């Protein structure tokens, strides 16, 4: 392979190196883990990713100062003289994505060194993590949809491996299979979209597609194919980013180790879907955009509603991820793509921080349970409370990240969520369609719910009127984690503050990130209102949570019992799983049973009868063969044998028979002469 066209070669090579480093770590740990040893393997993988993170930081700096677009085109193969090229493309957004993925992955691996310390398959775990990082970097770096699809599937594979990492647990097996299968459904759509794009533009290079598209080479009659393409790519994103109706794998994916959840939810897997939508957003027709916007906002609301009643510390976070992803997807649909990416970045840091903090809590409780020889569910928030006394550091980091999630002013989440809400409102006001007001309304509603359940979780885990609800013995054994866990938490919590992203804590448009992402300033009149509304909403959500769970001045159990239909809907995530099992499952089974019956009755019968006919004919032919052909030969043989036996007897060694023969012959000759003459 040789480079066809390169802009700024050293940087392009650096970018390839960034992707190659985690892959190298994967190869090393997968095939040479015995020689490397358990202790070193985690450090190697972390170091490799750390180097990649440093390199990507260098690329970010370069992209912002000198080279806003780095690319290299490499010819892969040639069909009938038409070259098939792979393009490596880095602009400022890509560079930031690169850095985010590498940075979060490094922190997660550092965290995992402590968290997974006692696991038997320690080095395999790090190998999978490296593969995961590598696949994600591949999606980010390449600009060829086919190659992206390959990496897209690799992300699916590595998530399958990591979710099912504790494969001795039956539930982990099920969860990994579920994640894989639901993703396949979306990926089928992605493949359709990819192929339709290839049909339209006869290339799968996103850069070229964008050029062609903007040149207006697409006539109106192609709008159906364009719709299919956009919808197909959206389907892929629905699978990867866990939007409705394919979201139920994400809560189940909590069966994997907690750092893996952090990686999946923050930077790698679910971000891939949104990133993909961002890169292809120019293709979407208005109808596709509408579908995207509605799917996203409905997902955001549904998942936030489900998060209200969860009792598993990780499940609350899982549903919040689905909800936040819904925001991002919806933002893409309403045309606020840069806000979506902004939220993707801020969300990556605070969600990774939340998951790692949750992991820290689980880890600490596990240790305590282990040391006090007691068994209890270390993830049930109903059993926790008052942990701020024992885990002050974790509490602070969790709170900081949690406030970012809740969208409290002065935190990063506020800026990005505010930008998305503004985008939604702008879209629906612009379209002059009152039905579209549903989008921003659901968005605001979700914002309240989000801050409420974040507050609920914070108080239930760390605060609470009654404090710790478990046994005192466990309580005495809880102590703060080591530096390897604290360091990632501190960094991620730091990244959740507004200062990192914008000097003005109340206006996302002053953020440097939004300028890079290409946001055009919206008209300012309504914006202050949105800022005020969303700040009030998020604060009131947390405030109500404080009243309900900390002060307990409102008794929630009286208002909503566990038997309540809304409670059940929320706890079971709208019974979405029932759609698949037994709903879809039964339909599938019934269809296939019917098809099987048809197969047996008609297709098999025909083939069977044909076979029987064949056998009968074969028997007849065999009979003819045996009797006629073989008979003829056998008769010949018999005759020859008899003749041979007869002639043999004449010279059978009996002297007297020779003599008699000679005598008879002589007599015959004599008679012949006598009567002839």
Q: Which residues contact 458 (CB under 8 A, 6 or more apart)?
A: 398, 399, 402, 545
Q: Smaller CB distance to another protein: residue 214 or 651? A: 651
For residues 425 and 405, what is the distance between their CA atoms, to the nearest angstrom? Answer: 20
Q: Which of residues 466-505 bind another protein (CB under 8 A)?
A: none
652 sits near another protein (criterion: CB under 8 A):
yes
Cβ-based neighbour number of residue 546 at 10 Å: 17
Direct distance between the N- and C-terminal alpha carbons of the chain, in angstroms, rounded to an integer: 109
Structural contact between residues 165 and 192, judged by C-beta atoms closer than 8 angstroms: no
Minimum Å distance from CB 655 to another protein?
4
Among positions 648, 673, 674, 675, the unique one binding another protein when judged by CB under 8 A: 648
Handedness of CA 177, 178, 179, 180 (dihedral sign): positive
Q: Smaller CB distance to another protein: residue 61 or 664? A: 664
Structural contact between residues 397 and 353, judged by C-beta atoms closer than 8 angstroms: yes
Q: Smaller CB distance to another protein: residue 482 or 657? A: 657
| Paired tokens of 228 | 């299919």
Rounded to 5 degrees, φ, ψ at 77 are -150, 180
Of the candidates 1, 6, 151, which has an alpha carbon nearest to the alpha carbon of residue 73? Answer: 6
Burial level of 522, CB count in 10 A (0-12/13-18/19+)?
Answer: middle
Of the candidates 53, 47, 48, 34, which has an alpha carbon nearest to the alpha carbon of residue 124? Answer: 34
Q: Which stretch binds another protein (CB under 8 A): 171-179, 203-211, 591-599, 659-667?
A: 659-667
Q: Which of residues 515-574 bind another protein (CB under 8 A)?
A: none
Q: Which stretch binds another protein (CB under 8 A): 101-109, 324-332, 478-486, 658-666?
A: 658-666
659 sits near another protein (criterion: CB under 8 A):
yes
Is beta strand 3-7 parallel, antiparallel or unpaired with respect to 82-90?
A: unpaired
Minimum Å distance from CB 644 to another protein?
11
Q: Smaller CB distance to another protein: residue 554 or 664? A: 664
Q: Which stretch binds another protein (CB under 8 A): 69-77, 312-320, 601-609, 656-664?
A: 656-664
Q: Smaller CB distance to another protein: residue 610 or 658? A: 658
Helices (H), 143-285: 145-163, 170-201, 206-214, 223-240, 249-252, 258-266, 269-280
Minimum Å distance from CB 674 to another protein?
16
647 sits near another protein (criterion: CB under 8 A):
no
Among positions 1, 79, 215, 655, the unique one binding another protein when judged by CB under 8 A: 655
653 sits near another protein (criterion: CB under 8 A):
yes
Q: Which stretch binds another protein (CB under 8 A): 257-265, 368-376, 576-584, 652-660?
A: 652-660
Minimum Å distance from CB 610 to another protein?
55
Minimum Å distance from CB 631 to another protein?
29
Structural contact between residues 87 and 73, judged by C-beta atoms closer than 8 angstroms: yes
Rounded to 5 degrees, φ, ψ at 268 are -100, -80
Rounded to 5 degrees, φ, ψ at 575 are 55, 35
Among positions 199, 628, 663, 669, the unique one binding another protein when judged by CB under 8 A: 663
**Site mask for another protein (CB under 8 A), range 602-641, x = bound:** ----------------------------------------
| Paired tokens of 119 | 């696991």
373 sits near another protein (criterion: CB under 8 A):
no
DSSP run (H or E) holding 74: strand 70-79
Q: Do you know the residue count of the chain? A: 677
For residues 573 and 563, what is the distance between their CA atoms, to the nearest angstrom? Answer: 15
Structural contact between residues 226 and 106, judged by C-beta atoms closer than 8 angstroms: no
Residue 257: DSSP 8-state: -
- Cis bond upstream, residue 484 (ω within 30): no
Q: Smaller CB distance to another protein: residue 603 or 663? A: 663
Minimum Å distance from CB 622 to another protein?
37
Minimum Å distance from CB 641 to another protein?
14
DSSP run (H or E) holding 319: helix 313-333
Q: Which stretch binds another protein (CB under 8 A): 55-63, 199-207, 564-572, 654-662?
A: 654-662
Minimum Å distance from CB 663 to another protein?
7
Minimum Å distance from CB 660 to another protein?
6
User: String of b and e for 179-205 (b: at least 16 CB within 10 Å)?
Assistant: bbebbeebbebbbbbbbbbeebbebbb
Q: Smaller CB distance to another protein: residue 631 or 652? A: 652
Give the number of residues in contact with another protein, rule: CB under 8 A. Answer: 10
DSSP string, 478-508: -----HHHHHHHHHHHHTTBGGGT-SSTT-G
Q: Which stretch binds another protein (CB under 8 A): 145-153, 245-253, 570-578, 650-658?
A: 650-658
Among positions 551, 566, 654, 665, the unique one binding another protein when judged by CB under 8 A: 654
| Paired tokens of 676 | 């002839």
Q: Which stretch binds another protein (CB under 8 A): 202-210, 217-225, 374-382, 657-665?
A: 657-665
Minimum Å distance from CB 616 to another protein?
48
Q: Smaller CB distance to another protein: residue 631 or 641? A: 641
Minimum Å distance from CB 659 to another protein?
6
Q: Summarize as ranges the residues that interact with another protein (CB under 8 A).
A: 648, 651-656, 659-660, 663
């Amino acid at each position: 392979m040789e480079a066809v066209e390169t802009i700024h070669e050293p940087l392009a090579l650096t970018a390839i190196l960034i992707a190659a480093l985690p892959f190298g770590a994967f190869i090393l740990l997968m095939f040479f883990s015995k020689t490397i040893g358990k202790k070193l393997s985690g450090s190697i993988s972390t170091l490799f990713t750390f180097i990649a993170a440093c390199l990507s930081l260098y690329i970010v700096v370069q992209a912002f100062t000198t080279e806003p677009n780095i690319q290299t085109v490499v010819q892969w193969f040639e069909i009938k003289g038409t070259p098939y090229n792979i393009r490596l493309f880095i602009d400022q957004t890509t560079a930031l994505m690169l850095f985010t993925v590498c940075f979060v992955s490094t922190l997660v691996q550092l965290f995992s060194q402590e968290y997974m310390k006692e696991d038997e398959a320690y080095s395999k775990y790090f190998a999978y993590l490296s593969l995961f990082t590598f696949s994600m970097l591949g999606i980010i770096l390449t600009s060829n949809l086919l190659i992206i699809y390959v990496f897209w599937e690799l992300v699916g594979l590595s998530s399958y491996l990591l979710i099912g990492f504790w494969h001795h647990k039956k539930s982990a097996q099920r969860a990994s299979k579920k994640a894989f299968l639901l993703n396949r459904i979306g990926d089928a759509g992605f493949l359709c979209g990819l192929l339709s794009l290839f049909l339209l533009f006869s290339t799968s290079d996103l850069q070229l597609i964008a050029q062609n598209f903007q040149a207006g080479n697409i006539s109106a009659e192609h709008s159906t194919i364009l719709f299919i393409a956009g919808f197909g790519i959206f389907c892929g994103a629905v699978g990867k980013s866990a939007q409705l109706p394919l979201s139920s794998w994400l809560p189940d994916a909590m069966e994997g180790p907690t750092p893996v959840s952090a990686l999946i939810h923050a930077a790698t897997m679910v971000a891939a879907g949104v990133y993909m939508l961002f890169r292809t957003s120019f293709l979407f027709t208005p109808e596709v955009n509408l579908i995207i916007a509605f799917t996203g906002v409905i997902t955001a609301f549904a998942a936030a509603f489900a998060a209200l009643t969860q009792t598993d510390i990780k499940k609350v976070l899982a549903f919040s991820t689905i909800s936040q992803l819904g925001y991002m997807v919806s933002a893409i649909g309403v045309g606020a793509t840069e806000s979506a990416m902004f939220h993707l970045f801020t969300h990556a840091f605070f969600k990774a921080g939340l998951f790692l903090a949750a992991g820290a809590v689980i880890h600490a409780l596990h240790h305590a349970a282990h040391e006090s020889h007691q068994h209890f569910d270390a993830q049930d928030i109903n059993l926790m409370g008052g942990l701020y006394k024992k885990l002050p550091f974790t509490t602070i980091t969790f709170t900081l990240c949690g406030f970012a999630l809740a969208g409290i002013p002065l935190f990063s989440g506020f800026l990005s969520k505010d930008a998305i809400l503004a985008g939604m409102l702008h879209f629906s006001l612009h379209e002059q369609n009152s039905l579209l007001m549903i989008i921003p309304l659901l968005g605001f509603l979700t914002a309240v719910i989000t801050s409420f359940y974040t507050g609920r979780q914070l108080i239930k885990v760390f605060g609470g009127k009654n404090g710790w609800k478990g046994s005192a013995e466990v309580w005495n054994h809880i102590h703060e984690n080591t530096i390897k866990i604290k360091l990632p938490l501190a960094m991620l919590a730091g990244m959740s503050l507004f200062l990192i992203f914008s000097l003005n804590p109340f206006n996302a448009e002053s953020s440097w990130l939004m300028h890079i992402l290409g946001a055009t300033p919206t008209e300012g009149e309504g914006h202050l209102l949105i800022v005020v509304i969303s700040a009030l909403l998020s604060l009131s959500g947390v405030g109500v949570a404080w009243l309900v769970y900390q002060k307990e001045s409102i008794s929630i159990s009286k208002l909503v019992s566990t038997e309540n239909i809304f409670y059940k809907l929320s706890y079971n995530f709208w019974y979405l799983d029932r759609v698949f099992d037994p709903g879809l499952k039964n339909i599938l089974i019934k269809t296939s049973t019917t098809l099987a019956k048809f197969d047996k009755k008609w297709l098999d019968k025909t083939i069977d009868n044909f076979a029987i006919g064949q056998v009968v004919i074969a028997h007849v032919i065999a009979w003819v063969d045996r009797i006629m052909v073989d008979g003829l030969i056998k008769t010949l043989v018999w005759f020859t044998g008899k003749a041979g036996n007869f002639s043999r007897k004449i010279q059978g060694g009996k002297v007297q028979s020779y003599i008699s023969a000679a005598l008879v012959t002589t007599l015959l000759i004599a008679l012949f002469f006598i009567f002839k003459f």
